[in-house]
Amino acid sequence: MTEYWQSTEPGAGRRPPRADAVSDAPVLSLNGTWRFRLSPTADGTGAAFVADDFDDSAWDTMRVPSHWVLEKFTPLSGGPARSMRGTEEGPLYTNTAYPIPLDPPRVPTENPTGDYRLVFEVPDGFGPAVLRFQGVDSCAKVWLNGHELGWSMGSRLPFEFDAPVRPGRNVLAVRVHRWSAGTYLEDQDMWWLPGIFRDVELLARPSSGAIDDHHVHADYDPATGLGTLRVDCPVDAVVEIPELGVLMPAGESATVAVEPWSADSPRLYRGVLRSHSEAGESVELAVGFRRVEIVDGVFTVNGRPVKFRGVNRHEHHPDTGRTLDRATMIQDIVMMKCANVDAVRTSHYPPHPEFLRLCDEYGLWVVVECDLETHGFIYAGWDGNPPADPAWRDAVMDRVYRTVERDKNHPSVVIWSLANESWTGETFGEMERWLRERDPSRPIVYERDPSYRNSDFYSLMYPSLDLLEQIGRREEPAPEGSTDEEDARRRTLPFLLIEYAHAMGNGPGSLSDYWRIMAAHDRMCGGFVWEWIDHGFTAVAGDGTPFVMHGEDVDYEPSGRRFCLDGLVFSDRTPTPGLIELAKAYEPVAISIGTARVTISNTRHSASTGDLDFRWTLEDDGAPLATGSLAVPPLGPGETTELQVPGDATGRRGRGELVLTVEAVLAHGTAWAQAGQVVAWGQATLATAPERQRRPAPDGRAVALAVALADGEVAVGEAVFDAATGRLRRLGGLELDGPWLDLHRAPTENDHGQGALNDIASVWRKTALDRMLHRTDDVSVGDGWLRVTGRTAPRTHPHGVAWTMLWTADGDGVALDVTADFVGPWTDTPYLHRDIWVPRLGLLFSLPGAVQRVEWFGRGPGETYVDSHEGSRIGRYARTVDQLQVPYPVPQENGNHVQTRWLELAGPGLPTLRVTGEPYVDFTARRWTSVALQEARKPHDLVDSGRVWLNLDHAQQGIGSASVGPALPERYRISRERTGWRVRLGTA
């Protein structure tokens, strides 16, 4: 006989799946403190623990819901209580590979198994009951009062048993296996976290008139503005929606005038479904009327095209894993709404049902994904893939049944996803056929099958910008393996970008580029950034230093290593710079400022701009000059207006750069933000100070004499140089050193690529960009100038950069003109057979460690890069050197600032260093070198060097998202050609 945990059957003894519902029938929460004992094999503690009178007083305690690998208790080997985090007994992270041998449906004998026991009281008259588990990973068998109820797989899906409870004392026993046959269906790029991790509830069921299921059909006709409501129910019941004047029997229809539901106008009509029986039941209704259709290859809701401004969302908390409370769910949704996110793909499983109720209320489009992924079968060439094996048919179908039946009544759910990364198989056809019959109101997506025969969408992950443009025009190449007929059908489908812009580490880049393409083509229905949150865990080093634990911190193979850190928010839900950029890309109101006109376009789906106020500010080098309101008539969805630039902002002169900013803000508070929340903004430079323009290089005429000093130094104006090396030693009383030509940056996660693909960091390492040697060839001086020539190159290799630095006295400071010429075989190098990209082209200075504060005028306040700066405004900002660092849990390049007009660095007892770009300069300031940043493994490895290292760059390459995605676009790379630039330095 096959053990149940190694069976391809989905379970036994369970009640049929049904809709999630909020009922007035009594509910007894069984969450709390249970007794628990962990055993090394599927035998658990044996058979005795299910008995009423079993003595569990010596057992550990365990919170329910929770994951036992995140709790502190006595481990498998006994001994003192400890945490399993960071051990192979604890949480394990894989991306594609299974953490067990690929031998379906068998699992190892070493199968950690948790036996749970709960003694609970049931009040008199509680009545017939149902026992519901909202989520157990990965397989559970259940006993009540010594009687076996059944077992179930499908970790992220609920299951229920009829529960013959008795008044008074009851004993619930649950055996949970870490590995099971279900493991082969749940390879979803996430931590493997066993346990009873969602709510456990005892539901009283009326002896008559129990509403065990219901199905809300709420259609909307955009041509008439009428909604048609029907609520199906297996018992006699009445539907009441007081606001609509609806009072009718279940199963009948009513057509009334309604406001439709959409993500930007989440209109819900609340009511009740009440059974006729006196001892019956009432179920709350939250009805949203909407119609989802694909019309002529365009995805529409309520007759209007939808473009998802989306994110992928795993459930994660740094302390509790996939166990989330309602407050955390609300926090996620509020942060999403404030960042202009209006859509969620529930990667890669149905979320806790409360999250979908909140999406209905707050307004998010949702793609619900079935709890199915078999990615690890790629290591067998997809041989034995469950969706293609009839033996797994019931288990696979069970998952789509339970997904759809639970979530069918949510207006926020507009698309069903059959699975993620599970290749192909005949069972997908059966899933599709059943789903279309059960719920024809929503379309279906499945991305991985190149034929797209079971999908209403053409869909891809991580296309390049060029390919995305082709797709928008329906000119993309055919997928390999598809027939001419399949390809012809696919070209008629709308395109859904289910994953793009991998947000791992410092990134992603090109968010606005992607969105401009998606906004330009009707075929595109938006996309979902990968992903919402880093999956890091709170941990403490041996010396008590806190850090963020990722897959590489667990001594276990296989490991997905750091790929769990790929979110737009850090594990503690602190926003990353990537979220700031996404909010700009996803703005639902476009504001464009010209020399005389302001153009405003409403790109919302349903809502007008009547809920927004528009205001403007004029600044001179970041200092406010004037502000006011902009009278914008309410714009309906898709409407545009043009207005004159405010009169108070025109004709003004300033000392520096005049920048006009126009904002759209919430006029009144909402459920997710207070009044004044910025929804969109635009900026334009109205005037630039003449001295901000780049001046020509000096023509050799003297401004001041270059004076030879003692100790081998030369002075040019306020600057003092080493006569032998040409390096700057002092400037107006400020001691400093440099500059050195700098070509290196600490690699970002995206610089490492994915495996060998796009791994430019390894090229930098092999060509020693981090170990460049500097040679001075000549130092010459003249009237008011000093010229230094030299070469910067790595050991071993023949390539390098020949450079010239020309210093010229310039008033109370000096101007520096730099020329860099790439020499040697940088292209198609014989030892690498590929080009060497240069991540940085600029200058490195060493400043005193007492430098503490930086003020600048340019993009900010957060970090910016050439492909990730549109979400950062032009303004005047001030931060400490420490505040300029972005605490990525894996140290990497961070803290750059593009388009900087000027910056000042100051510290107690030091002259202020002022740097002026001509016209712009990139800057980075930190207390450690880029090499130290590259070598650090954790943020606490970074130690103050006693100096401040200042990069003043002509350019730094973009950040992209090549950790899982295309190579960095050519336009965001640094050209290896003769390049010149200028900066000015002075002190005050």
Residue 707: closest CA among 781, 779, 780, 777: 781
3-class SS string, 64-102: ECCCHHHCEECCCCCCCCEECCCCCCCCEEECCCCCCCC
Predicted local confidence at residue 89, as pLDDT: 87
Predicted local confidence at residue 410, as pLDDT: 98
Asked whether the beta carbons of 424 and 398 are under 8 A apart, the reply is: no
| Poorest-pLDDT segment among 368-377, 413-422, 703-712, 894-903 | 703-712
Residue with tokens 């991305």: 447
Mean pLDDT over the full length of the chain = 95
Catalytic residue of the set 186, 499, 587, 749 = 499
Residue 504: closest CA among 527, 535, 528, 526: 535
- Segment holding 665, helix H or strand E: strand 658-666
Whether the pLDDT of residue 830 is over 70: the answer is no
Residue with tokens 């990667």: 347
Whether the pLDDT of residue 181 is over 60: the answer is yes
Asked whether the beta carbons of 979 and 957 are under 8 A apart, the reply is: no
Predicted local confidence at residue 75, as pLDDT: 58
**Residue 499 annotated to the active site:** yes
Q: In sequence order, which residues have a C-beta less than 8 Å from that of residue 760 and are 6 or more positions away?
A: 747, 751, 753, 837, 839, 962, 968
Tokens of 824: 């040697």
Asked whether the beta carbons of 387 and 427 are under 8 A apart, the reply is: yes
| Poorest-pLDDT segment among 302-306, 703-707, 907-911, 950-954 | 703-707
CA distance 373 to 376: 8
Whether the pLDDT of residue 692 is over 60: the answer is no
Angle formed by the axes of helices 393-407 and 426-438, to 10°? 30
> Is residue 825 reached through a cis peptide bond, with omega within 30 degrees of 0 on the bond before it?
no
Predicted TM-score (pTM) of the model is 0.96
Asked whether the beta carbons of 118 and 176 are under 8 A apart, the reply is: no
CA distance 227 to 248: 15
CA distance 360 to 449: 31
| Poorest-pLDDT segment among 87-101, 318-332, 616-630, 704-718 | 704-718
pLDDT tens-digit profile of 524-545? 999 999 999 999 999 999 899 9
Whether the pLDDT of residue 705 is over 90: the answer is no
Report the relative pairing of strands 853-860 and 897-906 from DSSP bridges. antiparallel
Summarize the confidence of residues 954-972 as an average pLDDT. 97
Predicted local confidence at residue 831, as pLDDT: 66
Catalytic residue of the set 201, 421, 870, 893 = 421
Residue with tokens 């600032």: 897
- The 3-state DSSP class for residue 534 equals coil
Predicted local confidence at residue 696, as pLDDT: 52
Whether the pLDDT of residue 694 is over 70: the answer is no
Q: In sequence order, which residues have a C-beta less than 8 Å from that of residue 236 and are 6 or more positions away?
A: 209, 249, 250, 275, 276, 277
Compute CA distances 260 → 148, 359, 453, 602, 774, whole Å.
47, 15, 31, 18, 67
Compute CA distances 385 → 156, 388, 452, 467, whole Å.
21, 6, 18, 30
Asked whether the beta carbons of 74 and 81 are under 8 A apart, the reply is: yes
pLDDT-derived band of residue 691, with 50, 70 and 90 as boundaries? low
Whether the pLDDT of residue 343 is over 80: the answer is yes
Report the relative pairing of strands 495-500 and 458-461 from DSSP bridges. parallel
Summarize the confidence of residues 103-128 as an average pLDDT. 96
Tokens of 927: 């207390």
pLDDT tens-digit profile of 434-482? 999 999 999 999 999 999 999 999 999 999 999 999 999 999 999 988 8
CA distance 753 to 770: 18
**Residue 863 annotated to the active site:** no
Residue 122: closest CA among 163, 167, 69, 77: 167
pLDDT-derived band of residue 120, with 50, 70 and 90 as boundaries? very high
CA distance 527 to 510: 14
pLDDT-derived band of residue 238, with 50, 70 and 90 as boundaries? very high
Predicted local confidence at residue 654, as pLDDT: 75
Report the relative pairing of strands 873-880 and 728-731 from DSSP bridges. unpaired
Tokens of 34: 């249970």
φ/ψ of 170, rounded to 5, equals -135, 155
The single-letter code of the amino acid at 89 is: E
Summarize the confidence of residues 98-107 as an average pLDDT. 97
Name the CA radius of gyration of the chain, rounded: 32
- Segment holding 484, helix H or strand E: helix 484-490
Predicted local confidence at residue 764, as pLDDT: 94
- The 3-state DSSP class for residue 225 equals coil
Going across the sheet that includes 298-301, the strands are 292-295, 298-301, 304-305
Asked whether the beta carbons of 419 and 387 are under 8 A apart, the reply is: yes
Given its phi and psi angles, is residue 895 left (phi above 0), alpha (psi -120 to 50 degrees) or beta? left
Whether the pLDDT of residue 649 is over 90: the answer is no
10 Å Cβ neighbour count for 234?
15
Alpha helices in 890-975 (DSSP H): 930-935
Given its phi and psi angles, is residue 784 left (phi above 0), alpha (psi -120 to 50 degrees) or beta? left
Predicted local confidence at residue 706, as pLDDT: 64
Compute CA distances 738 → 10, 727, 787, whole Å.
68, 5, 14
Summarize the confidence of residues 125-130 as an average pLDDT. 92
The residues pairing with 470 across neighbouring beta strands, listed in sequence order, are: none
- The 3-state DSSP class for residue 62 equals strand
Tokens of 869: 């700066």
Q: In sequence order, which residues have a C-beta less than 8 Å from that of residue 262 and are 6 or more positions away?
A: 290, 301, 302, 363, 605, 606, 607
pLDDT-derived band of residue 699, with 50, 70 and 90 as boundaries? very low
Q: In sequence order, which residues have a C-beta less than 8 Å from that of residue 888 and are 6 or more positions away?
A: 505, 506, 894, 939
- The separation between the first and the last C-alpha atoms of the chain, rounded to the nearest angstrom, is 85
Alpha helices in 895-961 (DSSP H): 930-935
pLDDT-derived band of residue 704, with 50, 70 and 90 as boundaries? very low
Whether the pLDDT of residue 147 is over 50: the answer is yes
Whether the pLDDT of residue 700 is over 80: the answer is no
User: What is the CB-side half-sphere exposure of residue 411 using CA atoms within 13 A?
Assistant: 29
With a pLDDT cut of 90, the percent of the chain lying above it is: 90
Predicted local confidence at residue 277, as pLDDT: 84
Whether the pLDDT of residue 833 is over 70: the answer is no
Predicted local confidence at residue 77, as pLDDT: 59
Asked whether the beta carbons of 551 and 564 are under 8 A apart, the reply is: yes
